[in-house]
Structure 1
């Protein structure tokens, strides 16, 4: 095991840091189940259980996501697209509120049991605290709760309320929907919140607007993202 693999982050873990970080990367980077990741590692001679992959994803994924968010603070866009989608958990409706910027980077995801002005205010407070600034413009669908919350918290911010303008936020729910199908539904609101809080920052790191990039530019950005990932995960580059 290399010196970098003995980083304190991986203390008391039997497997090398490279294996742990790769398993976490696979799970959050692609729509894979825990058992799929287990099989992919087994195909390379790495025998771990899906329960081990789950514990790695929760412990190290949280650390990696926190570090990615710290590095991206202040670098994301000033146009906020806000949207909410319903997620059925144990036959009860939960609402996943999400905000993305004009480039499709996820700013915040928040699971709540309500779809009203109080819930919209809670999302906006988290956004303001995390971003440290108000947006230049806020775009939402026709839900009136957004405007009620905006008037209280950000009265000077321009608000555009039109369903056709908010495709970017609506599309941001698709990765969660895919994972929901693979996991055969989330088991609790806490599990959903934990997943999006880790998944979204990692997805941001590997989010590239392919329709505006050449193949060479995409490769360069992907390589740069992997270098950042390796540095955050404290592993040597392959």
Structure 2
């Protein structure tokens, strides 16, 4: 996406308002960043802030994450560059209070998460909902890669998609590996509390992970530092004024 387009999108959206909160916006941004960027529980974030002399409760962190998480994810998505045209789709079961839910995920060929969708079923209707959501946000792909679940092919046929569809479990490792951070967070958080909680958390977590994706896989230290610098700058753009420098001080 061109810089002019990014500026237009940012100016069109209302800035994230932190008015009425007792803590400064820098601390709120930092807490939200810690929670969604790293595999930390709410109590871990509370303790890390306490180590910096910031006394609050984990419930406060939860309220901040709920209040500002989706707004941050929306702004990250609107300013993100164009995603790849090769989609990897996969689904994984998540048990919530003894009931099975299916987390459907779409990833492009570069590893960026395109979208996630929590469904109660693993059938054609659920696959079609995911495909409609992807087509609305990202347009039509060049290639779709899935495992051998027949629901994908049935959904594509019903939607009239005339794209190459590769069905092979071994080709879909990128999507399957993308589930791993969710599994880690599920363990740290001692399971998700509801399907709504799972949808909200994974929607925000996916976009924050996309923003910092290249910080881990750069070829050398210099490129990694440069990627991290760009990621922090993008974070400051979508959340407001810089926060990390003041927190570190």
Q: Report the TM-score, using the length of structure 2 for normalisation.
A: 0.89
- With over 3 angstroms needed to count, the CA separation of the structure-2 counterparts of 1:218 and 1:212, relative to structure 1, is closer
Matches within 5 A, 1:102-181: 102-131=109-138, 133-181=139-187
Distance in 2 of aligned mates of 1:111 and 1:195:
11
Q: Which of 197, 201, 204 pairs up with 1:198?
A: 204
Q: Is residue 15 from structure 1 mapped to residue 23 from structure 2 by the alignment?
A: yes
Distance in 2 of aligned mates of 1:8 and 1:94:
32
List structure 1 runs of 4+ shifted beyond 3 angstroms. 209-212
Q: Which of 44, 49, 55 pairs up with 1:41?
A: 49
- With over 3 angstroms needed to count, the CA separation of the structure-2 counterparts of 1:185 and 1:210, relative to structure 1, is closer
Structure 1: unaligned runs, 5 residues or longer: 1-6
What residue number does 1:50 align with? Answer: 58
Q: Which of 19, 23, 30 pairs up with 2:38?
A: 30
Secondary structure of 2:213 counterpart = coil
Distance in 2 of aligned mates of 1:145 and 1:209:
35
Distance in 1 of aligned mates of 2:22 and 2:193:
30
Stretch deviating more after TM superposition (183-192 or 147-156): 147-156
Whether the aligned pair in 2 keeps the contact of 1:10 and 1:17 (CA below 8 Å) is yes
CA RMSD in angstroms comes to 1.3
Stretch deviating more after TM superposition (205-214 or 98-107): 205-214
Structure 2: unaligned runs, 5 residues or longer: 1-14
What residue number does 1:71 align with? Answer: 79
Distance in 2 of aligned mates of 1:193 and 1:109:
7
Q: Is residue 216 from structure 1 mapped to residue 222 from structure 2 by the alignment?
A: yes
- With over 3 angstroms needed to count, the CA separation of the structure-2 counterparts of 1:211 and 1:24, relative to structure 1, is closer
Quote the offset at 1:155 in angstroms.
2.6
Distance in 2 of aligned mates of 1:173 and 1:48:
32
- With over 3 angstroms needed to count, the CA separation of the structure-2 counterparts of 1:209 and 1:17, relative to structure 1, is closer
Q: Report the TM-score, using the length of structure 1 for normalisation.
A: 0.93
